Amino acid sequence: MILGKTILGEMILAQMTLELSHFSAALLFSAFASIVFGITQRNSAREQIRYGLYCFAMFVGGVFAAGWVMWLLRR
């Protein structure tokens, strides 16, 4: 039974191997985290949307800022 589950799990995972770039992974991460932050950290619907967008902008801005810092360090 356990062997069957393992084989089934391996087959499913083997078919759905996903290789995202660092940037697209960061964008997805930002989007999902911002949705949850917006909903949980503010009360009204308007505030939630605004805060979610703010978090998303901060995440993406942070990615670009970190990218430029790394570029400068590499030079």
Partner 1 sequence: MANSSASKPKSVEVRNSTTTQPMTTMSVLAPALGWLIPGAGHLIQKRWIRGLLIMFSITTMFFLGLAMQGRVYRPNGGDILDILGFVGDLGAGGLYIVTRVMDWGQGAIAHATADYGTKFIIVAGLLNFISVADAYHIAIGKKP
Contacts to partner 1 by CB under 8 A = 2, 5-6, 8-10, 12-13, 16-20, 22, 25, 28-29, 31-33, 35-37, 39-40, 43-44
Assign residue 69 a region (left: φ > 0; alpha: ψ between -120 and 50; beta: otherwise). alpha
Tell me if 36 sits within 8 A of 10, measured CB to CB.
no
Supply the minimum distance, in Å, between the C-beta of residue 33 and partner 1: 6
Supply the minimum distance, in Å, between the C-beta of residue 24 and partner 1: 10
Cα(24)–Cα(20) distance, rounded to whole angstroms?
6
Cβ distance to partner 1 smaller for residue 11 or 73: 11
Cβ distance to partner 1 smaller for residue 5 or 75: 5
Q: What secondary structure letter does DSSP report for 44?
A: S
Cβ distance to partner 1 smaller for residue 31 or 58: 31
Tell me if 34 sits within 8 A of 55, measured CB to CB.
yes
